[in-house]
Amino acid sequence: MTTGSVLAFDLLAAILAAAGWLGAGATAVAGPRRVAMAVGAAALAATLARAATTILLARAGWWFAAEKVVIAGPLMLAAVLVAGPRLLRPAPVPFLFAGYALTAGLLVTVLHGYPVSAGAGLLAVAGVAGATALTWRFLGSGPVPRTAVVVAVAALVAGIGAAATAGAVPGVPHAHQHRDVLTVGEPAKRFTLTAGTAVVPAGDRDVAAWAFNGQVPGPQLTATVGDVLEVTLRNRDIGRGVTLHWHGYDVPNSQDGVPGVTQDVVLPGREFVYRFRADRAGTYWYHTHAASDVGVRMGLYGVLVIHPKPATGVDVTVPVHTLAGVPLPAPAVQPVAAGDPVRLRLINTDNTTHRYALAGTPFRVVAIDGSDLRGPAPLSETAVLIPAGGRYDLAFTAPDTPVALDVDGRVVWSSGPVSAATGGWPVLDPLTYGTAEPPPWSRYDREFTLVLDRGVDLRGLLPRYAHTVNGAADPDIPSQVVRFGEIVELRIVNRSLVVHPWHLHGHHVLVLSRDGRPATGGPLWLDSFDVRPGEVWEVAFRADNPGMWANHCHNLPHADAGMTLHLIYG
Ligand SMILES: [Cu+2]
């Protein structure tokens, strides 16, 4: 069983145990004794199941289990000790006490999560003691025990105090950098991208979009290694403003296009000129980073391809995007003759993972996220999963029979009809693909752990159910501070129930391990990788690109709902 499924079982057991004890209490008040006994026994079984999932999660890593062990665990123990002996003699107050204790443990996991805080523990105890005192008042025999009242009031006061103190921990303030356009030489390639509202075709209807130069995706920008690119961004009428972020291209910080961090947002009627040297070949894309959740979904993106010198063969880009709920068509098929070398550049510009399957020919995955792979073996009848923001380059020699590419079972590119049931194909694990090479570093100067979760963020004007990193939401997540030249190890732990495609700006990270198992394939340098529920990824990078960089989930609604922090050079 994966840690992700244990996390799901844990939540289920916690809900059943809480509901079970509350139900047993209610039945003990007003129902038949036998039913109360049966419901109580079921609640006890669910409680023991949650104890078991807690132990399994603690063995998978403390990040998954901390609050379950420290806060929910003692509450569960108290519930079992108080309510367990009453199973054969059902009574409302002990059963309801157990219900409050299990509910408090559940809420601590769902609303607070990792890391454990004294405030959350004390508030949970206050809630249980207060609810039990009230229950006793109405259902118990005799006066309310003073202990319950004293514990409730003391824990409430201490909990509010602890929570308020924790809230005062300052994050590292965001620097706001203004720099002149870099002098990188005379531009060899000049482009102008004008952002504006537009109506574009999507499937068989026209939809409202935000577009670069009136088209979705925007124009493909193509250059050759060594070229200096100059891209003038103009905003015609996008009220929330636009910028250009070069996804996966490690440009100098001032060109990275993150509003409020590397530049001001480009408002209607304004422009910004980006200039950088194309120093590495590969498949990349560009998109707005202003209101990026809405902006990218509405169409403000395009493809950036840097060719090596000289470029050869048939080269096709397949950016997959969903506009107004409709998958956009792939580009028109270029004529391919048998024997032609073909490179398919697959780009996922959506917020969630897509599954790609190439049928009709063996192929190699020759590059991921713009980096060539070492020793990629031929594959056939194998699918690939591309995370949000990620790119895979597939290469093959065109056979004299048709080939077809499908995405999530829908054919998006083909040179003729291919009948293949691709749904059952195995999925390539890039961590075991290609030829290994010793890691370039033997030491790490700095280490960070990011624990991804959900939780209530009370620091804004309105409480929100945020996507959190180490228990905090943007802008309150402390920045990671590194020094130039350091080798930095980054551990990313997903204890939530959804996939988080992680994306660090300005750097490619080398994958070291996943779930404690070292990567055994060719060196895997990524800028976008899916951290699935229960997974622990260890990656490393060299801090060689000074500035202030966004480090965030590329499921952009998650980034918008708190899951963004920054890497800064100190
Ligand atoms: Cu996410």
Distance between Cα 295 and ligand 1 center (Å): 17
Q: How much is the pLDDT for 176?
A: 47
Q: How much is the pLDDT for 387?
A: 98
**How many alpha carbons fall within 13 Å on the CB side of residue 74?**
10
Distance between Cα 230 and ligand 1 center (Å): 32
The residues placing their C-beta within 5 Å of ligand 1, an ion, are 500, 553, 555, 558
Distance between Cα 558 and ligand 1 center (Å): 5
CB 234 within 8 A of CB 247: no
Distance between Cα 315 and ligand 1 center (Å): 32
Q: How much is the pLDDT for 31?
A: 82
The structure tokens listed for 291 are: 């209101």
Distance between Cα 474 and ligand 1 center (Å): 13
258 CB neighbour count, 10 Å cutoff: 23
Distance between Cα 58 and ligand 1 center (Å): 23
Q: What is the DSSP letter of 141?
A: S
Q: What is the pTM of this model?
A: 0.93
Q: How much is the pLDDT for 171?
A: 47
Q: Is 118 left (phi over 0), alpha (psi -120 to 50) or beta?
A: alpha
Distance between Cα 530 and ligand 1 center (Å): 9
Q: Which percentage of the chain shows pLDDT scores above 90?
A: 81
Which residues, in sequence order, are bridge partners of residue 368? Answer: 371, 392
Q: Which burial class, exposed, middle or buried, applies to 326 when counting CB atoms under 10 A from its CB (0-12, 13-18, 19+)?
A: middle
CA dist 355 and 408 (Å) reads 5
CA dist 91 and 69 (Å) reads 28
Q: Is 40 left (phi over 0), alpha (psi -120 to 50) or beta?
A: alpha
Distance between Cα 479 and ligand 1 center (Å): 18
Q: Is the peptide bond before 387 cis (omega within 30 degrees of 0)?
A: no
Q: How much is the pLDDT for 183?
A: 64
CB 347 within 8 A of CB 391: yes
Using alpha carbons, list the distances in angstroms from residue 94 to 23, 83, 353.
Answer: 12, 5, 47
CA 532 to chain centre: 8
Q: How much is the pLDDT for 178?
A: 44
Enumerate residue ranges in the chain where pLDDT < 70.
165-183, 333
CB 539 within 8 A of CB 526: yes
Strands ordered across the beta sheet of 205-212 = 205-212, 189-202, 228-235, 271-277
404-407 and 354-359 strand pairing: antiparallel
End-to-end CA, the chain: 42
Distance between Cα 60 and ligand 1 center (Å): 21
Distance between Cα 76 and ligand 1 center (Å): 31
Distance between Cα 108 and ligand 1 center (Å): 21
The structure tokens listed for 28 are: 């003990």
Distance between Cα 292 and ligand 1 center (Å): 14
